[in-house]
Amino acid sequence: MKSRRRTGVILILVLVLVAILALCSLGFSERMLTERRATQIIGRRMQARVSAESGVEMARLFLDRSSNDQDEVGGWYDNPQRWRGVLVADDGLPRDRGRFTLVAPRLENRAPAGIRYGLEDESARINLCTILKADQAVTDGAKKMLMALPGMTDAIADAILDWIDADSTPRPQGAEADYYAALTPSYAPRNGPPVTIEELLLVRGVTPQLLFGLDAAAMAGGGAGAGAGNGAIEGVDNSDGSMNHGWAAYLTVYSRESTLRADGTPKINLNGSDLKKLYDALQKAVGADWATFIVAYRQGGSQGSSSGANAVAPAGQLDFSQKATATIASVLDLIGVKTSAKFQGAKTKTVLNSPFSEDRSAMSTYLPKLLDNTTVSAEAVIRGRININQASWLVLQGIPGMTIDLANEIIAKRTLDPTVAGAAHRYETWILTEGIVPLATMKTMLPFVNAGGSVYRVQSIGHFEEGGSSAHLEVLLDASKRPTNVLLWRDVSHLSLGGLAEGFGGSGPQASGAEKN
């Protein structure tokens, strides 16, 4: 009897042991399967990121090409054949084919309306590093630019400008060092150009919701799509979607444009101190008549309206020993004026009429040549001017000299895609030559506007043909000199835009070839 009992106990122990081993094996198998799935997910995310990086590199190499070469292959603005669903890693299975897509916001009826496939000109935004220059053109010009943004208040605008300006005197509703010193923890205002847009979160009254809109929760770590909700932002009318991405969609610290000519050589600085050298450079680029008048203008300045349009300067050599007395604020200063100059061997000065007529058809011929070859700045780049061909209605209306009616007319007559726009629209003076603004208004606006910058924002999404994992990189590329340089690089895969990758595969939706204003 005892033997039988012992045999039964051993059998039970064996069964328990087998059960425990089976459970351990099952747990181990489950863990291994989980680890395998995690490894696959991480691997696909890494592949998606590499695909997004390939998109950035493709854009960088594209910007190294001449503008003519870019146009021949469809351009940078809306080019689904080049920027949508580009194959990076081929595979027999569609789910494993890695691709990238470059996207940018589409404007329609003055508000964001989905996406297009291409890059974004950073000059379409207000540059906080140069915004104070607007005060030199019109009273409270900088504040007017900020007040054009949805949800902006007088108190916040003043506080932002106090953060940027160099003085310690607060504006009427602003905040300076005393306010920030009383905070816990305390800190000091920048009193200079901000380094990043995110720095504005340190400014009194600026909240993540105002700065980033519906992306605010995701930017704070809320995850992809956080804050996307019903499109509501407390205290702000966002019915048109203009604040989906907050003020960050309208502000920058990076915009700039090159002062190089199409062949890569520096433009001629009309305010150069060596007048003989200036004359020689101008004579080679634009001819002796224009060179003579421009140098004479530097010596004698404007002496009233020209008495004879398109008058040719007298033959002879200028007296280059005469020093410059005038500075040229813009090429528009040369239009329709007269000056006087002393020629070698002459006892008296000669009055010269400008070869640059106020006739608009004549302007459309000579202004492109002047703008292509000359500049009034000694800097390698010009910072902060706004692209009137790309800027939103909100940004346009804050430009010094701009009115709401004028902004509406510009939007109605511009063509957003540079590859299909007329040649005249490659120059900011098209609004002058087409009669939208008079010469005096154009002079006020010219220091603040351009027709295209040299810094581009790239939203590169790496994804797979049948959806799944994706990566979203936001990169700023500076093409003001070659090779194109990276100004900013950040992974923003946590933002809701990454979810759009599911429609970017080889058979995904196409973008329309034209964009409405």
Q: What is the DSSP string of 181-232?
A: HTSSS------S--SSGGGGGGSTT--HHHHHGGGHHIIIII-TTTT-TTS-
The answer to whether residue 439 scores a pLDDT higher than 60 is yes
Q: Yes or no: say if 390 and 124 are a contact pair by the CB < 8 Å rule.
A: yes
The answer to whether residue 225 scores a pLDDT higher than 60 is no
Q: How much is the mean pLDDT over the chain? A: 87
pLDDT in the model for residue 505: 53
pLDDT in the model for residue 78: 94
* Residue of higher predicted confidence among 513 and 396: 396
The answer to whether residue 222 scores a pLDDT higher than 60 is no
The answer to whether residue 157 scores a pLDDT higher than 60 is yes
pLDDT in the model for residue 131: 97
Express each pLDDT in 414-426 by its tens digit: 999 999 988 999 9
- How sure is the predictor about 137, in pLDDT bands with cuts at 50, 70 and 90? very high
- How sure is the predictor about 110, in pLDDT bands with cuts at 50, 70 and 90? low
pLDDT in the model for residue 5: 56
Element (H or E) spanning 408, and its range?
helix 404-413
pLDDT in the model for residue 211: 95
pLDDT in the model for residue 511: 35
User: What residue segments make up the domains of the chain, in order of their start?
Assistant: 1-124+385-424+450-517, 125-255, 268-374
Strands annotated E in 12-110: 86-89, 98-108
- How sure is the predictor about 14, in pLDDT bands with cuts at 50, 70 and 90? confident
CA distance linking residue 282 with residue 260, whole number of Å: 15
* Residue of higher predicted confidence among 486 and 221: 486
| Helix (H/G/I), strand (E/B), else coil: 498 | helix
- How sure is the predictor about 227, in pLDDT bands with cuts at 50, 70 and 90? very low
Q: Yes or no: say if 486 and 477 are a contact pair by the CB < 8 Å rule.
A: yes
Q: Yes or no: say if 318 and 342 are a contact pair by the CB < 8 Å rule.
A: yes
Phi, psi (deg, nearest 5) at residue 102? -100, 125
Alpha helices in 91-148 (DSSP H): 134-137, 141-147
The pTM assigned to this predicted structure is 0.87
pLDDT in the model for residue 232: 72
pLDDT in the model for residue 473: 95
The answer to whether residue 310 scores a pLDDT higher than 50 is no
CA distance linking residue 451 with residue 498, whole number of Å: 30
Long-range Cβ pairs for the range 85-92 (8 Å, 24+):
85/465, 85/504, 85/505, 85/506, 85/508, 86/54, 86/55, 86/58, 87/506, 88/50, 88/51, 88/54, 88/462, 89/47, 89/51
The answer to whether residue 302 scores a pLDDT higher than 50 is yes
pLDDT in the model for residue 495: 73
Express each pLDDT in 326-367 by its tens digit: 999 999 999 999 998 888 877 888 889 999 999 999 999 999
Q: Yes or no: say if 155 and 169 are a contact pair by the CB < 8 Å rule.
A: no
What lies within 8 Å, CB to CB, of 395 at 6+ separation is 124, 125, 126, 145, 148, 250, 386
CATH of the domain spanning 125-255, picked from 1.10.540.10, 3.20.20.70, 1.10.3720.10, 1.10.40.60: 1.10.40.60
* Residue of higher predicted confidence among 202 and 503: 202
Express each pLDDT in 70-102 by its tens digit: 999 999 999 999 999 999 988 888 888 899 999
Element (H or E) spanning 338, and its range?
strand 338-341
In the chain, % of residues over pLDDT 90: 65
The answer to whether residue 104 scores a pLDDT higher than 50 is yes
pLDDT in the model for residue 430: 97
The answer to whether residue 496 scores a pLDDT higher than 80 is no
pLDDT in the model for residue 293: 94
pLDDT in the model for residue 44: 84
Mean pLDDT for the stretch of residues 210-238: 65
Express each pLDDT in 386-403 by its tens digit: 999 999 999 999 999 999
* Residue of higher predicted confidence among 217 and 119: 119
The answer to whether residue 113 scores a pLDDT higher than 50 is yes
pLDDT in the model for residue 220: 53
Express each pLDDT in 461-495 by its tens digit: 999 987 778 899 999 999 998 899 999 999 988 77
